[in-house]
Amino acid sequence: MGKGKHVPIRTCIFCGRKMAKYELLRLVLDDEKRPIWDRKKCLPGRGAYVCPRDECLRKLETQKGRRRLAKAFRGRLARENPELFKVLIEAAGGQDKYDQNQDL
């Protein structure tokens, strides 16, 4: 028997890497069908997962990446969210790499 430590695994929509759900950033669609970051991972509806690496987050800035995102939501995504990239970069980068740049 295992130790009962079941960790849900999800796949990054950009690189296809499988990771523990808690390591990924979850995106959902809001009431206006715009993609938003599900900060607490508890919003209802279908989620799309992105790993917090720059190279994946940067794909949100490309046409191809946005198409991939729309596909992950099975065509339900209806509007762009220009803030999403910035929000996710901040969400992913809250660690040491921005330490030298403290302007809080």
Q: Which residues bind Zn ion (CB under 5 A)?
A: 12, 14-15, 51, 56
Query: Smaller CB distance to Zn ion: residue 14 or 29?
Result: 14
Cβ-based neighbour number of residue 67 at 10 Å? 12
Query: Smaller CB distance to Zn ion: residue 51 or 72?
Result: 51
Nearest distance in Å: CB 46, Zn ion: 18
Cα separation, 5 vs 13, in Å, equals: 25
Our CA angle for 91, 92, 94, nearest 5°, is 75
Query: Smaller CB distance to Zn ion: residue 5 or 85?
Result: 85
Nearest distance in Å: CB 104, Zn ion: 28
Nearest distance in Å: CB 19, Zn ion: 8
Residue whose pair of structure tokens reads 């890497």 in the numeric block? 17
Q: What is the CA radius of gyration of the chain?
A: 15
- Are 31 and 67 contacting, i.e. CB atoms less than 8 angstroms apart? no
Nearest distance in Å: CB 2, Zn ion: 27
Query: Smaller CB distance to Zn ion: residue 28 or 50?
Result: 50
